[in-house]
Amino acid sequence: MRNPEQILGIIFQLTQLLLVVLAAPLLTGWVGQCQAWLQNRSGAGLLQPYRVLNKLFHKDAVIADNASWLFRITPYIVFGCMWLAAAIIPIIAVDLPFSRAADVIALVGVFALARMFIALAAMDIGTSFGSMGARREMLVSFLAEPALLMVLFTASLISQSTQLTHIVATFAHHQFILYPSLAFAGIAFVMILLAENARIPVDNPSTHLELTMIHEAMILEYSARHLALIEWASSLKLFAYLSVGIALFLPHGMIEVGNWAGLPWALGLLCGKMLLAGAGLALLEALMAKMRIFRAPEFLGTAFLLGVLGLLIHFLLGA
């Protein structure tokens, strides 16, 4: 028999699982709507991602004759990886049953696993666009993952743990302290977020020009439910990265398991943080232009340098 605390933990964990999978497309719609407002357009509305997913799920899939089993199962694996990543990150509470899996190194590994499968599936059909997109994706990931690890290690050294839950508890439940190392890490994290989520200036999620696209080139052969799962996974990935940013740099407002009275307050704070983060992302994309793919190493190299500077500042100054 499970004790009441375990049952409450499971209920809170299921609440977070449903929250992330249902709210992720809404976040994507919010970012798109903010971009439309900044460009003086009316926009498609906040619910447009849900309409797109509904349309795709009701279509019949068209699969190439030479597609292997890898091509068919990749959308499900990618969606599962992104849902798992978004579920283990502390969002509304810090001591959920999945909290033991919220290790920063394991989290980067989950993102890498999804990237590996989508790149292999892009090359499986043998089209030039798929192979080109896979190579570009590997170039971006080769530079972005070390930079992301430097950012996460900076927070880990301050909290003396690689567990995201312990990092959140350290930053949220102690007195407010300004860490110069986290300032460098924060700038690096924003740059990594833009690159990893195929946003401007590294990639443009709304283009299909073969000379510029990265993510879109890898999914050109997908359709119907497979494409819907990949698009949903992209929304979950953006939600997960913003959740990591909130957990590292703005963790205040999270509650303990069983605190039902504080749940509305925690959800309200989460919505406010996500709204601000989405609007800030749209503003950044409106102020920047798409760079050439050959400039991406310089962009991500700068992010890695800022992450390393954050580590050095912590080692040298202890701040």
Whether the CB-CB separation of 92 and 269 falls below 8 Å is answered with no
CA angle at 186 for the pair 263 and 190, rounded to the nearest 5°: 90
What pLDDT, on the 0 to 100 scale, is given for residue 250? 84
What pLDDT, on the 0 to 100 scale, is given for residue 58? 92
Whether the per-residue pLDDT at 144 is higher than 50: the answer is yes
What pLDDT, on the 0 to 100 scale, is given for residue 93? 74
What pLDDT, on the 0 to 100 scale, is given for residue 2? 57
* Mean pLDDT estimate for the chain: 85
Inter-CA distances, 238 with 30, 72, 125, 145, 296, Å: 12, 23, 27, 16, 19
pLDDT digits (tens, 9 = 90+) for 216-228: 888 888 889 999 9
What percent of the chain is predicted at pLDDT more than 90?
33
Helices (H), the chain: 4-38, 48-57, 69-88, 104-124, 128-159, 164-172, 180-196, 215-218, 224-249, 263-287, 296-317
pLDDT digits (tens, 9 = 90+) for 258-277: 666 777 888 888 889 999 99
Whether the CB-CB separation of 105 and 150 falls below 8 Å is answered with no
HEC letters along 116-166 = HHHHHHHHHCCCHHHHHHHHHHHHHHHHHHHHHHHHHHHHHHHHCCCEHHH
Q: Which residues pair with 163 in a beta bridge?
A: 103
What pLDDT, on the 0 to 100 scale, is given for residue 317? 77
What pLDDT, on the 0 to 100 scale, is given for residue 314? 83
Mean pLDDT computed over 142-149 = 90
pLDDT digits (tens, 9 = 90+) for 25-63: 999 999 999 989 998 888 888 999 999 999 999 998 888
- Which letter does DSSP use for residue 40 in this model? T
pLDDT band (50, 70, 90) for residue 1: very low
What is the model's pTM?
Answer: 0.91
Between residues 64 and 306, the one the model is more confident about: 306
Interhelix angle 296-317/180-196, rounded to 10 degrees, is 160
d(CA 108, CA 202): 20
- Which letter does DSSP use for residue 93 in this model? B
Whether the per-residue pLDDT at 119 is higher than 70: the answer is yes
pLDDT digits (tens, 9 = 90+) for 61-117: 888 888 889 999 999 999 999 998 888 888 877 777 777 777 888 889 899 999 999
